Amino acid sequence: MTIRKITKETGEAAILGGAVLGGGGGGSMDKGRMNVLGALEAGEVTLVDIDDVSPDTVLVTGSAVGAPAAKEASVEPRDYVRVVEILMENGCPKPGGFIPNECGGSSITNGWVPSALMGIPVIDALCNGRAHPTGVMGSMGLHRDPSYVSRQAAAGGSREKGLYIEMHAAGRLESASSLVRSAAEKSGGLVAVARNPVTADFTKKNGACGALQQAIDLGMKMKQAMGGGGSAVLEAVLGFLGGDHIVTGRVSAREILTRGGFDSGSIAVGDFETTFWNEYMTLERDGKRIATFPDLIMTLDAGTGMPVTTAEVSEGQEVILFVVPSECLILGEGMRCMELLETVEPVVGKKIVEYRK
């Protein structure tokens, strides 16, 4: 068995590469750093390949659900442990591994804190190798199995402000995910989540195997290029993932609405307009479609090369806008379910599915 111990260096690389692969979502790098620090202070985080665990090993998805831009959003490292405890208190077996739900500046570290505290490895088989807005999109196609009972636990919110909430839901995947989303809204905008126990065999067939190591490798390339500023970091990213530089320019307009536990809106850079639903969903120029989710549409700060999420970008900021085709990414089964992509359309007011056929 190949076991890799996460260090401060590889943890920072995972956060950096994960932030790019978040595609505008996936949480902030600051929250990711807090999770890494909490995990390494608690113990060791070990990363194990999916082929090195028994096919019948129970894996639990670690996640964070909510609107990153919500002003009162608050999730602490201990909340990620509490949600695993809630699952086990409600009849779920102790997991043999944790899988992060997606890439992102913080979401790629989901599962790391309970991994360190409980001595359970993180398995390099994310639900998705990029970030996505809904929990169902990160459930590896489980929604297509009518017999599957989704079990989801959530915890989060500021204890000082009386917003802390925790809950457990069991039922159809869409229903349980909706309840978790409601909990996120009531908690102030964000909750830690543990959900959907599945076997390693299922995960191997439907997950994004190798996506965490890809994020680490990408982050290492970016760190090496940081001294050269934004253009050097862009070159490192595109050299590693593939894709195209679209434009470097100032953000001329930004509209954002935080509602129902989501951020949505649009961002314009020069002649180019993006829409987003937590993550960037579409990119157009003069009404002509250039890229469509799950293509990776992403922004870097033009000066530093640091990833900038949709929740962080500001009007007047000079950014680098680039695109990586979905074919270049490691994606989970949820990204191949057209019925899930249909849910994006009414939120951003753009066609999605017809551009993915």
Please report whether residue 353 resides in a domain: no
- Residues 197, 239 within the same domain: no
Question: Does 94 lie in the same domain as 202?
Answer: yes
Residue 357: inside a domain, yes or no?
no
* 3-state percent helix, strand, coil for the chain, nearest multiple of 5: 35, 30, 35
Tell which residue, 356, 320, 140, has the closest CA to residue 243. 320
Say if 110 falls within a structural domain.
yes
The answer, yes or no, to whether residue 2 has pLDDT greater than 70, is no
pLDDT of 348? 96
Residues 109, 15 contacting (CB under 8 angstroms): yes
What is the pTM (predicted TM-score) of this model? 0.92
Q: Are residues 22 and 165 in the same domain?
A: yes
Q: Decide: 350 and 273 in contact? Cβ < 8 Å.
A: no
pLDDT at 63: 87
Q: Does residue 256 share a domain with residue 139?
A: no
Give how many domains the chain has, as a whole number: 2
Q: Is the pLDDT of residue 185 over 70?
A: yes
Interval 252-267 mean pLDDT? 90
pLDDT tens figures, 313-340: 999 999 999 999 999 999 999 999 999 9
pLDDT computed for residue 67 by the predictor: 72
Residue 352 lies in a domain: no
Structural domain span for residue 156: 3-211
- pLDDT score for 78: 87
Cβ partners under 8 Å of residue 48, min gap 6: 1, 2, 3, 4, 97, 121, 122, 123, 124
Domain identity same for 289 and 251: yes
Q: Confidence class of residue 1 from pLDDT cuts 50, 70 and 90?
A: low
Residue 162's pLDDT band (cuts 50, 70, 90): very high
Considering the domain architecture, whether residues 244 and 172 belong to the same structural domain is answered as: no
Run of H or E including 122: strand 122-123
Q: pLDDT above 90 covers what percent of the chain? A: 87
The answer to which of 6-15, 40-49, 57-66, 202-211 has the lowest mean pLDDT is 57-66
**Phi, psi dihedrals of residue 178, rounded to the nearest 5°:** -65, -40
Instruction: Tell me: do 233 and 296 sit in the same domain.
Output: yes
In a domain, 186, yes or no: yes
Helix, strand counts (H, E) of the chain: 10, 18
Q: Quick one: what percent of the chain has pLDDT higher than 70?
A: 99
Per-residue confidence band for 258, with pLDDT thresholds at 50, 70 and 90: confident
CATH number at residue 254: 2.40.390
Q: Do 106 and 171 share a domain, yes or no?
A: yes
Where does a domain end: 179, 211, 243? 211
- 241 and 268 together in one domain: yes
User: For 301-318, what is the mean pLDDT?
Assistant: 97
Give the mean model confidence (pLDDT) for residues 40-55: 95
Give the mean model confidence (pLDDT) for residues 175-204: 93
Residue 250 forms part of a structural domain? yes
Tell me, yes or no, whether 163 and 297 share the same domain: no
Is the same domain home to 200 and 308?
no
Is residue 218 one of the residues assigned to a domain?
no
CATH number for the domain spanning 7: value is 3.40.1610.10
User: Where among 211, 243, 260 does a domain terminate?
Assistant: 211
Q: Encoding tokens for residue 140?
A: 């590896």
46 with 104, same domain: the answer is yes
